[in-house]
Amino acid sequence: AKAEGRSRTMFFESLMGETVRARFQLEAELRLAILEDQLRLYLQPQVNSSGVQVGAEALVRWQHPTRGLTLPGLFIPLAESSDLIISIDRWMLSAVCRLLAELDAEGSSIRLSVNISPRHFQQADFVSEIQHQLEASGADPSRLVLELTEGIVIGDIGDVIAKMTLLSTLGIHFSIDDFGTGYSSLAYIKRLPIHELKIDKSFIQDCTSDPNDAALVETILSIAKHLHFQVVAEGVETLGQSEFLNARGQIIHQGYLYGRPEPAAVWRARLSQSGAT
Ligand code: C2E
Ligand code: CA
Ligand code: CA
Ligand code: CA
């Protein structure tokens, strides 16, 4: 039994060794990815209840030299445990601001949402960084939406309010992503200059079959209505889900039913074909 215990310990040690090594390798590759321009900007449409595309969410992809196109689920969690996430967010923000300026020049009034991780938001120079990105690109701040998760309120609430208020005065809008899944304090949410709530796809998934999920979605819609927030429903895949939402208000829809995330160039071509503005 003693020998067995030892071999088991060795097994786990080597397993952990592999994991640590794999993490180190992924981190090193990711650092290189940013330097060597392997990140890609993808966009997914957001449509209003009349089916008009009013915005799009920017989602990062990693064009890995050997593994191919890699989804954020495989590298964002690791990136979030270090300052790597700040470099990724900045790369995306800069790509989004440039795209916004180009769309603006074409007469489009579409808005673009970009994900900001808590570690990035907590940087002391976050406000001036955003200001700089807007000035450098010439993007209209009122077309930029920053998606924050409830996780940001874990930090210094005074600092969070100050940063958001400053950016709001520039015209930037804020959206609370994955609303209802995180550390949710309505007392805090109420104090922030928020424009929009995003209902997480886990609630939308079964809203037509599970009364609990239906009730949760309705509760979020009611909170949004009372606090005058716009609502985006994420992960809308079926007509049934879209009808459920349309019966309950003016909600912006995002999901495979309307379009998958696509490379920025493909998304743009489709946008000009549709004649949307
Ligand atoms: P998220 O912000 O909640 O983004 C929505 C995710 O749902 C995206 O996954 C999107 O592709 C997926 N999705 C959209 N419609 C549907 C649908 O109808 N059904 C299903 N099943 N899924 C749908 P994706 O692109 O894999 O991104 C995963 C997460 O990675 C994002 O979740 C976000 O938290 C993070 N992420 C992506 N890009 C960035 C970034 O530039 N910066 C940061 N900090 N995080 C990012
Ligand atoms: Ca998001
Ligand atoms: Ca989400
Ligand atoms: Ca999410």
Per residue in 50-107, pLDDT tens? 999 999 999 999 999 999 999 999 999 999 999 999 999 999 999 999 999 999 999 9
Residue nearest to atom 37 of ligand 1 (CA): 59
For residue 240, the Cα-to-chain-centroid distance in whole angstroms is 25
The answer to whether the CB of 150 falls within 8 A of the CB of 137 is no
Pocket test for ligand 1, best of 115, 148, 254 (most atoms within 8 A of CB): 115
CA 257 – CA 263 distance, rounded (Å): 18
pLDDT at position 273 is 85
Instruction: Calculate the average pLDDT of the chain.
Output: 92
User: pLDDT at residue 17 above 80?
Assistant: no
**What residues are neighbours of ligand 4 (ion), with CB under 5 Å?**
178
Ligand 3 center–CA 200 separation, angstroms: 5
Q: Which of 180, 129, 121 is nearest to 152 (CA)?
A: 121
Residues with CB under 6 A from ligand 1: 44, 59-60, 71-73, 76, 85, 88-89, 92, 115, 117, 177-178, 201, 234-237, 254-256, 261
Average of pLDDT values for 127-147? 97
Average of pLDDT values for 251-259? 98
Ligand 1 center–CA 115 separation, angstroms: 9
CA 104 – CA 111 distance, rounded (Å): 10
- Over the stretch 99-135, which tens digit does the pLDDT of each residue have? 999 999 999 999 999 999 999 999 999 999 999 999 9
Ligand 2 center–CA 11 separation, angstroms: 39
Ligand 3 center–CA 196 separation, angstroms: 12
* Residue 239, C-beta contacts closer than 8 angstroms, at least 6 positions apart: 257
For residue 257, give the ligand 1 atom closest to its CA: 18
**Tokens standing for residue 174:** 């804020």
Residue at 238: amino acid letter: T
Cβ neighbours around 182 below 10 Å, total:
16
The vertex-204 CA angle with 200 and 207, nearest 5°, equals 145
ipTM field: 0.97
CA 100 – CA 140 distance, rounded (Å): 7
Ligand 1 center–CA 213 separation, angstroms: 20
CA 127 – CA 164 distance, rounded (Å): 8
Q: Which of 208, 226, 230 is nearest to 217 (CA)?
A: 208
Ligand 3 center–CA 234 separation, angstroms: 6
Backbone angles phi, psi at 247, to 5 degrees: -70, -10
pLDDT at position 69 is 96
pTM, entire model: 0.93
pLDDT at position 24 is 87
The answer to whether the CB of 149 falls within 8 A of the CB of 178 is yes
For residue 60, give the ligand 1 atom closest to its CA: 38
Cβ neighbours around 94 below 10 Å, total:
18
- Over the stretch 157-185, which tens digit does the pLDDT of each residue have? 899 999 999 999 999 999 999 998 876 67
Backbone angles phi, psi at 260, to 5 degrees: -85, 165
Q: 12 vs 247, which has greater pLDDT?
A: 247
For residue 54, the Cα-to-chain-centroid distance in whole angstroms is 16
For residue 85, give the ligand 1 atom closest to its CA: 44
Q: Which of 240, 242, 230 is nearest to 50 (CA)?
A: 242
Percent helix, strand, coil in the chain, to 5, is 55, 20, 25
Pick from 86-100, 125-139, 183-197, 235-249: least confident: 183-197
pLDDT at position 3 is 57
Ligand 2 center–CA 57 separation, angstroms: 7
pLDDT at position 132 is 97
Residue nearest to atom 19 of ligand 1 (CA): 235
pLDDT at position 11 is 57
The answer to whether the CB of 111 falls within 8 A of the CB of 174 is no
Average of pLDDT values for 9-21? 65
User: pLDDT at residue 10 above 80?
Assistant: no
Backbone angles phi, psi at 111, to 5 degrees: -110, 150
